[in-house]
Amino acid sequence: MKWDASLSIVKHYWIFLTLLLTACLPQTKPVVPDAKITTQQKIQHEVKMLLKQSYIDPITRFVFVHEQDKAYQAVLKTLKAAQAKRCDQVAKRYEKLPKKQIQLDKLSQGYQFSCPDVVFNFAQAVAKKQALAQQFSLKKRDHHGQQAKTLQACDRSYEKMDYANALHHCQLLASQGHAEAQLKLGMMYADGRGVRKDYQAAYIWLTLAVQSGIQQAQVLRDSIAGLFTQKELIDAHDKAAKIANAY
């Protein structure tokens, strides 16, 4: 009986000691994975998704929207390289196709927004292959002569601050793809000269002027870009592409 009592005391003492030591040990919290996602991680995910899909326009829009955003500068080079590579693939594919208007229409409809140079080069090839090349050349010469007169009227009216006439003549040329007229038209819409101020119209024509090679237009265009939401910028850029497609 004494032995059993002693054993019971030792057992209870051991349990007490174990509990005491456990209480003294530092308690560790379970590791919970950080649920927060950094801005760069979010951007990297967006880029990854863009590169996975096969279309060019979403990449072009993404680059356009975030061109001035410092947080995106690290990934824009990658996206621009991907855009250039895809446009190059389109160009190589269309090199093998017949240089016909129907092919040009398909190319223009699908890639005018993201690959304007590819569309332009193919359009030149189509023009060279047209059966009535000589007649086309004569019409083109007459058209250029008329364009020159209209451009002169556009310039004179603008310099004389006769913006109502300048708007008429410049609008006609701008819709035909004339870069200088597009610049003047964009400036008139931006400043409200001869027409009610319309920053979206100004942005569209200045964008077309930039695409036509007038770098001066980019400064003014970028200065009004901050007035729009991302959706409005994309909408304006889409409208510019449609106008260019109609040249």
Structural domains of the chain, count: 1
Beta carbons of 76 and 66 less than 8 angstroms apart: yes
pLDDT band at 95 (very low <50, low <70, confident <90, very high): very high
Round to whole Å and give the CA distance between 204 and 189.
10
Rounded to an integer, the average pLDDT of 18-25 is 50
Q: How many CB atoms lie within 10 A of CB 116?
A: 17
Instruction: Note whether residue 83 is domain-resident.
Output: no
- Report whether pLDDT(233) > 60: yes
pLDDT at 135: 53
Flag whether 106 is in a domain.
Answer: no
- At 62, the pLDDT band (50, 70, 90 cuts) reads very high
Both tokens of residue 128?
């060279």
CA angle in degrees (0–180, nearest 5) for 101-105-106: 120
Is residue 140 in a domain?
yes
70 part of a folded domain: no
The reply to whether 142 falls in a domain is yes
Give the CATH number, domain containing residue 233. 1.25.40.10
What is the rounded CA–CA span in Å between residue 118 and residue 210?
Answer: 17
SS3 content of the chain, % helix, strand, coil (to 5): 75, 0, 25
Q: Specify the DSSP class assigned to residue 130.
A: -
Report if residue 98 sits inside a domain: no
Most distant pair of Cα atoms in the chain: their distance: 128
Give residue-wise pLDDT tens across range 164-188: 889 888 898 898 888 999 999 999 9
Q: Rounded CA gap, 47 and 59, in Å?
A: 9
Residue 35: pLDDT band with limits 50, 70, 90: very low
Residue 123 included in any domain: no
Residue 48 lies in a domain: no
Give the domain range for residue 160: 132-247
209, 237 contact by CB (below 8 A)? no
User: Model confidence at 45, in pLDDT bands (50, 70, 90)?
Assistant: very high
Residue 45 sits at φ, ψ, to 5 deg, of: -65, -40
CB of 60 closer than 8 Å to CB of 84: no
Cα(218)–Cα(89) distance, integer angstroms: 28
pTM: 0.45
How far, in Å, CA of 158 to CA of 150, rounded?
12
Q: Which two tokens stand for residue 112?
A: 């005018």
